[in-house]
Structure 1
Amino acid sequence: MEQRMSFLTLAVSDLARSREFYVDGLGWEPIFSGDDVIMFPVADRMILSLWSIEGFTAEIGEAPASGVAPVTLAHNLATPAEVDAVLSEAARLGAPVVSGQRREWGGYSGYFSDPDGFRWEIAVNPGETGDFVLPPR
């Protein structure tokens, strides 16, 4: 198997609420939107898929666990001011936010939660992976 990933799928409890947050709130543009799923291009050959819990469960045969998922999604930016701007935008949409701060690993980051509690890290990362910031579409 090649070392790559094509889709990241999150099971969401209310697809309409997720659509409102990501599309209407954050301004993301889906590549596909159906009754049970919304798909967003998020990187070259990478799709973030938001799938209703019912559709997710029917496909994989088991309901997702409840509680805080032991995973974060990350969005790298070039400056702390850009981090703070995204965190402010998320707060304006009603998302719980952990404000940006300097980190012991040398970067600057903060977090917000989407409507289903998935945590987004918004960060400036000065290490090798910090250069992995895609140009705007």
Structure 2
Amino acid sequence: MEQRVSFITLAVSDLARTRAFYVDGLGWEPMFSGDDVLMLPIGERLMLSLWSIEGFTAEIGEAPASGVAPITLAHNLATPAEVDAVLAEVALLGVPVSAGRDREWGGYSGYFSDPDGFRWEVAVNPGETGDFVLPPR
């Protein structure tokens, strides 16, 4: 099996609210939007697939676990100022945001939660992973 990920799929409690957050709030462009799913291209050959809980359950055969998901998604940037600007923009959407700060591992990051509580890290990473920043569309 090739070492790569093609889709990140998350189950969401209210797809309309999720669509409003990602498309209207963050300004992301969907590739597909249906009654049960919203698909957002987030990188070269990488899709964020947001399913209604009902659609997710029908697709995989069982309901998702409840509670805080033990996962974070990351959005890397080049400078701490860019991190702070994105966190300030997201804070205007009324979701929980933690301010950017220097981290003991040498980077700078802060977090926000989408409407379903999925945590996004907005970060500057040092070293090899710091070069992993997607070009603007």
TM-score range (shorter-chain normalised) is over 0.9
Unaligned runs of 5+ in 1: none
CA distance in 1, matches of 2:104, 2:5: 29
Structure 2 alignment gaps of length 5 or more: none
- Aligned counterparts of 2:66 and 2:112: Cα–Cα separation in 1: 18
* Equivalence for 1:57: 57
Calculate the aligned-residue CA RMSD, in Å: 0.6
- AA matched with 1:22: Y
**How many correspondences in the alignment?**
137
- Residue type of the partner of 2:104? E
Q: Paired residue for 1:123?
A: 123
TM-score (normalised: structure 2)? 0.98
Q: Secondary structure at the match of 1:89?
A: helix
CA distance in 2, matches of 1:40, 1:127: 28
Match of residue 72 from structure 2: 72
1:91 paired to 2:67? no
- Partner AA of 1:34 in structure 2: G
Post-superposition offset of 1:90: 1.1
User: Which residue of structure 2 lines up, in the alignment, with residue 107 of structure 1?
Assistant: 107
Match of 1:13 in 2: 13
Secondary structure (helix, strand or coil) at the match of 2:100 reads strand
Q: Which structure 1 residue ranges, 4+ long, deviate > 4 Å from structure 2?
A: none
Deviations 1:74-124 (CA, angstroms, capped at 9, x unpaired): 000001011011111111001101110000011000000000000000000
Residue by residue, what CA displacement relative to the aligned partner does 1:18-48 show, whole Å, maximum 9, x if unpaired? 0000000000000111110010110100000
C-alpha distance in 2, partners of 1:63/1:127? Answer: 39
Report the Cα offset of residue 61 of structure 1: 1.1
TM-score by length of 1: 0.98
Q: Matches of 2:102 and 2:5 in 1, distance apart?
A: 30
Aligned twin of 2:24: 24
Distance 1:49 1:74 in 2: 15
Partner-residue secondary structure (3-state), 1:101: strand
- Paired AA for residue 3 in structure 1: Q
Identity over aligned pairs, percent = 84
